[in-house]
Amino acid sequence: MAKKNSTANKLDWEYAPSLEGTDHIQLKEKYDLYIGGKFVKPSSGKYFATTNPATGEKLADVAYGDESDVDKAVKAARKAYTEVWSKLSGKERGKYIYRIARIMQERARELAVIETLDAGKVIRESRDVDVPLACNHFFYYAGWADKLEYAFPNRKIESLGVAGQIIPWNFPILMAAWKIAPALAAGNTVVLKPAETTPLTALKLAEIFHDAGLPPGVVNIVTGYGDTGAAIVNHADVDKIAFTGSTGVGKIIQKAIAGTNKKATLELGGKSANIIMDDAPIDQAVEGIINGIFFNQGHVCCAGSRLFVQENVADEVIKKLKRRMDTLIVGNPLDKNTDVGAINSKEQLATIQKYIKLGISEGATMHQSRAKIPANGYYCAPTIFTDVAQSSTIVQEEIFGPVLTIQTFRTVDEVIQKANNTPFGLAAGVWSDKGSRVFNLTSKLKAGVVWANTYNKFDPTSPFGGYKESGYGREGGLHGLGAYVKLK
């Protein structure tokens, strides 16, 4: 590490690059659909490219699965359900799921690097958060597979059948694990569609399922676009839809399955409040704000994208926040020093930039970090807006990028009212030294998860999900298992 200029601001450190190697990973040039335990060509013969958003370079071609491919996948899943998976004991199912978890652990480094390449997320997060948590979901639910009667005592438990699962691009392998692990533990089979821009780790998982000897058809991976997802939703022989994505698509899905027998869990958008009381440990809270919104480039459904600071500490918090923002390193996601990686796609970068312009035109005051931004690839500097109103578009709508709005408040009642005043209700954070204040706030905030003196912490044992337009149903923990069984 060398200091760039000893007379300059103390924060001007330049770190030597510390790149994670990519020699150990193997990517095929072309990926087919994984149906019935085999990689098969798409009926249309069409493929699309998945790229590395940090460079814009193509990583691989991936099959486009259409309605007829989805039909084949659902048929394979139904056959596997009827003939094999629903007949296995919980103990036997558990053995397969443990085996999957162990192979994922063995291949953790490879999975983390591929996730970083395909999604643009920083290696520190894919290596230390996404992949270990994904493994832990498989371990956790493997443990329930032979204990369902203890999970739901005195009830008759039945699996649902074929689960159609559709996931977004912000946590590709973790979202796949959240959905596949409880479905298999409860005795269901799966057809999963990853997002168009991040299909590679799901396809690597297909290889792992294969290596684990999972019976053919128990999990099928169909890559493609939105219409591939719609074909899963509309397929008559799918018993459950598990969707994570935008509120807009969630509403389309809800309409599509209305009047059918399909069960559903919808994990949708958010505009979560991070609340700093005047007795909070300010330095820790500033770290919490940074983690809440700049972690994973703000591509987090539960990102703490609205900051509420008690008026008498607002100047101090904002000053410290700006100072800390300036130390964040934006750049190559494969570099272990990078704090903020690449925006997932050109389209998402354009959306974020549109909101930043809108914020300025609405009269808010913008501050962006001084971080150097790479010339190629899709990047956005950490951005904060002060002088925003409760009615500002950037306060009300989900931006899904490293953009934070800051409002102040005087009383607890005022902040509860402001924090709850959005169509969403996914998560919230409260920072205070006083337990009674924390409990008062956490019980009145309309959010599925409320963190106290921390932010963005996840664990396979704890349920996650939203209120209002952030969706319904819970994933994780026992609640997440409950979403894959019929109780009689």
The residue whose Cβ lies closest to ligand NAP is 229
Residue 267 is among the residues annotated as catalytic for this protein: yes
Interface characters, 401-440, with ligand NAP (x: CB under 6 A): -------------------------x--------------
403-409 and 33-35 strand pairing: unpaired
Interface characters, 122-161, with ligand NAP (x: CB under 6 A): ----------------------------------------
Query: Closest distance between ligand NAP and the C-beta of residue 175, in Å?
Result: 6
Give me the catalytic one of 20, 110, 125, 267.
267
Would you count residue 197 as binding Mg ion (CB under 5 A)? yes
Would you count residue 244 as binding ligand NAP (CB under 6 A)? yes
Residue of 59, 184, 289, 301 interacting with ligand NAP (CB under 6 A)? 301
Would you count residue 292 as binding ligand NAP (CB under 6 A)? no
Backbone angles phi, psi at 458, to 5 degrees: -125, 150
Q: How far apart are CA 365 and CA 377, in angstroms?
A: 27
- What DSSP letter does each residue of 15-51 carry, written as one string? PPP-BPP-TT----SEE-EEETTEEE--TT--EEEEE
Q: How far apart are CA 387 and CA 415, in angstroms?
A: 16
- In this complex, which beta carbon is closest to Mg ion, that of residue 118 or of residue 267? 118
Query: Closest distance between Mg ion and the C-beta of residue 195, in Å?
Result: 9
Ranges within 303-332 binding ligand NAP (CB under 6 A): none
Assigned token pair, 111: 């999975």
Q: Is 52 helix (H, G, I), strand (E, B) or coil?
A: strand
Interface characters, 260-279, with ligand NAP (x: CB under 6 A): -------xxxx---------
Interface characters, 194-233, with ligand NAP (x: CB under 6 A): -xx----------------------------xx--xx--x
**What does 269 bind: Mg ion, ligand NAP, none (CB cut-off 5 to 8 Å by kind)?**
ligand NAP
Give me the catalytic one of 20, 115, 125, 301.
301
Which of these segments, 44-52, 221-229, 279-287, 418-426, binds Mg ion (CB under 5 A)?
A: 44-52
- 428 bridge partner residues: 273, 450
Which of these segments, 72-80, 163-171, 317-325, 455-463, binds ligand NAP (CB under 6 A)?
A: 163-171
- In this complex, which beta carbon is closest to ligand NAP, that of residue 170 or of residue 432? 170
**What does 249 bind: Mg ion, ligand NAP, none (CB cut-off 5 to 8 Å by kind)?**
ligand NAP
Query: Closest distance between ligand NAP and the C-beta of residue 223, in Å?
Result: 9
* Rg, C-alpha atoms of the chain: 23
* Residue 140 and residue 181 in contact, taking contact as beta carbons nearer than 8 Å: yes
| First CA to last CA distance, the chain | 63
Assigned token pair, 14: 């330049």
- 469, amino acid identity: E
Q: How far apart are CA 25 and CA 20, in angstroms?
A: 11
Tell how far CA 464 is from the center of its chain.
Answer: 11
Q: How far apart are CA 52 and CA 114, in angstroms?
A: 10
Assigned token pair, 15: 């770190």
Assigned token pair, 68: 């007829």
- In this complex, which beta carbon is closest to Mg ion, that of residue 60 or of residue 277? 60
**What does 118 bind: ligand NAP, Mg ion, none (CB cut-off 5 to 8 Å by kind)?**
Mg ion
* Residue 24 and residue 204 in contact, taking contact as beta carbons nearer than 8 Å: no
Residue 316 is among the residues annotated as catalytic for this protein: no
Continuous segment of H or E residues that includes residue 93: helix 90-106
Residue 6 half-sphere exposure toward CB, CA atoms < 13 A: 0
Task: Tell the residue number behind the tokens 């019929």, with chain if given.
Answer: 486
Q: Is 77 helix (H, G, I), strand (E, B) or coil?
A: helix
Continuous segment of H or E residues that includes residue 192: strand 189-193
Would you count residue 50 as binding Mg ion (CB under 5 A)? yes
Backbone angles phi, psi at 217, to 5 degrees: 90, -10
Ranges within 464-483 binding ligand NAP (CB under 6 A): 466, 470-471
**What does 196 bind: Mg ion, ligand NAP, none (CB cut-off 5 to 8 Å by kind)?**
ligand NAP
**What does 166 bind: Mg ion, ligand NAP, none (CB cut-off 5 to 8 Å by kind)?**
ligand NAP
* Residue 472 and residue 147 in contact, taking contact as beta carbons nearer than 8 Å: no
Residue of 169, 385, 409, 451 interacting with ligand NAP (CB under 6 A)? 169
**What does 50 bind: Mg ion, ligand NAP, none (CB cut-off 5 to 8 Å by kind)?**
Mg ion
Query: Closest distance between ligand NAP and the C-beta of residue 402, in Å?
Result: 14
Q: Is 175 helix (H, G, I), strand (E, B) or coil?
A: helix
Tell how far CA 35 is from the center of its chain.
Answer: 25
The residues binding ligand NAP (CB under 6 A) are 166-170, 193, 195-196, 225-226, 229-230, 233, 244-246, 249, 252-253, 267-270, 301, 398, 400, 426, 466, 470-471
Catalytic residues: 267, 301
The residues binding Mg ion (CB under 5 A) are 50, 118, 197
